[in-house]
Structure 1
Amino acid sequence: MPRRFHDAEELLPPATAFKRALAIIYDGLISIAVLLVATWIYTIIAGWITGWDQYEQMAEAGQLSGDPGLTFTLFLVLYLFFGYFWTRIGQTLGMQVWRIRIENLDGTPVSWSQALRRYVTAAAVIFLTLLASHYLGEATLFVTVPALIALFFPINGLSVTDRLSDSVVVAVPKALNTP
């Protein structure tokens, strides 16, 4: 029998857009710190494997710009970070502060595949939004704002990431906010 956050019959209300936004900002700041540490570790390992003198020459020549290995590593590290919290306790650190949680409709934690769908959907929309902003210039607002609203904020209680990962983001009462 899978672990449940609450009884299957109990339905928690959907999280508000305001709480989602605050949790996203909070988790975004934490993500920056995680990415800085991951980049530091990647650089140490890459410099050690390549040789520090050669690695320094490559950096000075601009050959390390857009390093696909670093890009993949950072993408993977963030997925593991978010996936760990989503699958274990349903809440990232920012979500804990604002008392919201990702769960299945029956109150069970999401699976790693659901976390992957949620993460890839968010990453794809953010990437396409940044790409559009690069090519559209001032018309970006007409693309960026609706894309981010559809991605993260609920329409009829479910956002795009909720729908594609078959999960919901709910408001957690104070008594239930313990992992």
Structure 2
Amino acid sequence: MSLPPTTPSLLRRMACWLYEGMLLFGVVFIAGYLFGTLSQTKNAMDNRHALQAFLFVIFGIYFVWLWSKGQTLAMKTWHIRVLDQSGQPLSQSRALLRYLWSWLWVLPPLVLSWGLNLKGGESIVIFIGWVAIWAILSRFHPRHQFWHDALAGTQLVDERPVKP
């Protein structure tokens, strides 16, 4: 009889989240260079909505592909694996669903900032506040999972090596 998988601590999950954000700078750099080269964009403000849509698709490909394999590089570093509720690896459709629900990390503060026409520092404060609230809300999940995982039917599990 095996024990149910344990959920990584909130601190480890958030450290993984921050590390993932740093790694995405490389993805954005390469994708932005590719987009700018292919579209012959000379000014950063030209085609910005097309670039945002392109990055949305690139991020989707990145996360869906790696989550369906079980882990991103940041998740490997922090010994975290994503599985479905039955403990199986994610299908690509389940990984896509998780990707879409994971936008709950950023869409509410973006919509609020846009709706209130906020700029710079105010938007950053709202973003950081929302991320903190969204992370803390996981404490109210029965297994302390993030709510986008609950909505997507996925779970993050601890994969640290067992000590002998």
SS of corresponding position for 1:14: coil
Distance in 2, matches of 1:70 and 1:142, equals 24
Show the counterpart of 2:51. Answer: 70
Q: Which runs of 5+ in 2 are unaligned?
A: none
Aligned residue-pair number: 153
> Percent of aligned positions with the same letter in both sequences?
22
Do the aligned partners of 1:132 and 1:143 also contact (CA within 8 Å) in 2? no
Residue in 2 that maps onto 1:50: none
* Residues 19-34 of structure 1 mapped to structure 2, 5 A cutoff: 19-34=12-27
Q: Which has the larger radius of gyration?
A: 1
Alignment gaps of 5+ in structure 1? 1-6, 48-54
User: How many angstroms does 1:140 deviate by?
Assistant: 3.5
Q: 1:97 and 1:121, CA in 2 relative to 1: closer, same or farther beyond 3 A?
A: same
Amino acid at match of 2:62: F
Q: CA deviation at 1:147?
A: 3.3
Q: Could you say what the CA RMSD is over the residues aligned between the two structures, in angstroms?
A: 2.7
Offset, 1:78: 0.8
Show structure 1 runs of 4+ deviating over 6 A: none
Q: TM-score, normalised by structure 1?
A: 0.73
Structure 1 residue aligned with 2:147:
160
Distance 1:45 1:130, change over 3 A: same
Contact map agreement 1:129 1:147 (CA 8 A) in 2:
no
Corresponding residue of 1:94: 74
Partner of 1:129: 109
Q: Distance in 2 between matches of 1:92 and 1:21?
A: 14
- Matched residue, 1:51: none
Alpha-carbon separation, structure 1, partners of 2:34 and 2:67: 24
**8 Å contact kept, 1:82–1:92:** yes
- Corresponding letter in the other structure for 1:87: S
Match of 1:85 in 2: 66
Which amino acid in the other structure matches residue 146 of structure 2? S
- Normalising to structure 2: TM-score of the pair? 0.79
